[in-house]
Amino acid sequence: MELNTISKKIFTGDKIIWGVVFLLVIISILVVYSATGAIAFKRMGGDTEYYLIKHSVLLVMALVIMWVCHRIDYRYYSRLSRLALLISVPLLILTWLFGTTINEASRGIIIPFINQSFQTSDFATLALIANVASMLSKRQQSIREFQRSTLPIIFWSGLICGLIALANFSSAVLLFATCLLIMFIGRVPVRYLVMTIVIGAVVGMLALKLGQRSGTATSRVKAFFDTEQVTFQEEQSYIAVATGGVLGKGIGNSQQRNFLPHPYSDFIYAIIIEEYGLLGGGIVLGLYLILLYRGMVAMAKSERAFGGLLSAGLSFSLVVQALVHMGVVVGLVPVTGLPLPLLSMGGTSLFFTGISLGIILSVSRGELEKTEKEAITPAAGNNYRKVVHTIE
């Protein structure tokens, strides 16, 4: 009983989200070890556990960051979002001009002393989602005034997404779609949403033309619609899916990990289906859908516009990225190079996933604590609300 009480105090917020996260972490450790064992043996002189240990350490750090973020009142993130957004602009420009090359594009900068690559687009994504939610929550009473309410959101969304698109077009499209969703939930008029889409398309085409991956993006789209020819990475992914069957080949028995480019990141879902079958792939898909559902539950229960919009935006961003990754593996969408959140091996991307999940938990924790306090003193429920609003 004491252990149960302690765990409730430590892991506050939505318990289902906590459960989903821990299950994904366990699956991540198993699959990354399987996908990197042979590579580690060749590169590290027989040390097959090198990448496993590195990934496990990063996962633990991401969980710690997630726990810290979930203990912070989510309202503070509104205050930090504008500062983070202002920092994002020079960081993205610096990355584009002088960043380290990842997959033929400048996507990160090296953090001094620790020699770790930092993908600035992850930071900018989180900053933009939080800031769009913050701006919308403060402008609900004047939401139909274009110049005052919608124009600043369009400006920041176009600027950040355009800068990200210079090096990572697929991530920019996903972020832009997330901003549109937040605007739709935030009651932005349809005519302004259409205007946002048009402006976004123009900015996207300009960024694609000026960016570093225009040729790659164009070739991938053409290859997707070419029914007579399949690229090498697509072919290997399809083989992994086809040979996995219903129950899979078993843990550590993947064959396509030896042929797939980046089997530990861009195509890790193919390894999951090959080793765990359609059953394992369906379970992973179900976990992400549960995460999306619980994020929307937190939104529905939130009494504040900012908390609801923030939870919806972050949940949508994480889960849609996962769905796009899965779609690439089974051939439903063109190859994008997006990792599977919390499952793919990565560096700072794991930290920002932890921050996003921690903020979602912070929103659910805030609403849960209000519900529990009102349940303890139901007669004083109305007085409690008055006190809280007075303090705020």
62-74 pLDDT, tens digit per residue, is: 999 999 999 999 9
C-alpha 174/C-alpha 186 separation (Å) is 18
Contact 59, 354 (CB under 8 A): no
Take residue 336 and report the two structure tokens written for it: 């994008």
Q: Does residue 110 sit in helix, strand or coil?
A: strand
Pick the residue with more confidence: 337 or 251? 251
Specify the DSSP element, H or E, that contains 149. Answer: none
Q: Which ranges constitute the DSSP H helices of the chain?
A: 2-10, 15-43, 50-71, 75-98, 120-138, 151-165, 169-185, 190-210, 214-225, 232-244, 268-301, 305-330, 348-376, 381-391
- Where exactly are the structural domains of the chain? 11-71+230-306+319-369, 75-228
Chain-centroid distance, C-alpha 97: 25
**Statement: residue 379 has pLDDT above 50:** no
CA-CA-CA-CA torsion sign (257, 291, 201, 147): negative
pLDDT of res. 258: 87
Q: Which residues contact 149 (CB under 8 A, 6 or more apart)?
A: 135, 136, 139, 142, 143, 188
Q: Tell me the C-alpha to C-alpha distance, in Å, between residue 392 and each of 137, 141, 325, 326, 385.
A: 15, 18, 41, 43, 11
**Is 90 exceeded by the pLDDT of residue 211?**
no
Q: Which of 40-49, 111-120, 146-155 has the highest mean pLDDT?
A: 146-155
Average per-residue pLDDT in the chain? 85
CA distances from 40 to 45, 47, 268, 354 (A): 8, 6, 16, 26
| Band of pLDDT at residue 131, cut at 50, 70 and 90 | very high
Structure tokens, 93: 């420009």
- What DSSP element (H or E) covers 257? none
| DSSP, res 345 | -
SS3 assignment, position 145: coil
CB–CB of 361/18 below 8 Å? yes
Higher pLDDT, residue 52 or 21: 21
- How much is the pLDDT for 380? 40
> How large is the greatest C-alpha to C-alpha distance in the chain, in angstroms?
70
Give 86-121 pLDDT, tens digit per residue: 999 999 988 888 777 665 666 677 766 656 677 889
Q: How many CA atoms lie within 13 A of 104 on its CB side?
A: 9
Closest CA to 160 of 74, 105, 95, 66: 95
Greater confidence (381 vs 60) lies with 60
pTM: 0.88
Other CB atoms within 10 Å distance of the CB of residue 1: 5
pLDDT tier at 297, thresholds 50, 70, 90: very high
The one-letter code for the residue type at 345 is M
Listed residue (392, 391, 382, 266) closest to 327, CA to CA: 266
Closest CA to 14 of 66, 82, 89, 84: 66
Q: Write out the H or E segment, with its range, that includes residue 100.
A: strand 100-102
> What is the spatial distance between Cα 360 and Cα 307, in angstroms, rounded to a whole number?
8
At residue 25, the pLDDT reads: 95
Lowest mean pLDDT among 172-176, 271-275, 279-283, 368-372: 368-372
Strands 105-111 and 100-102: antiparallel
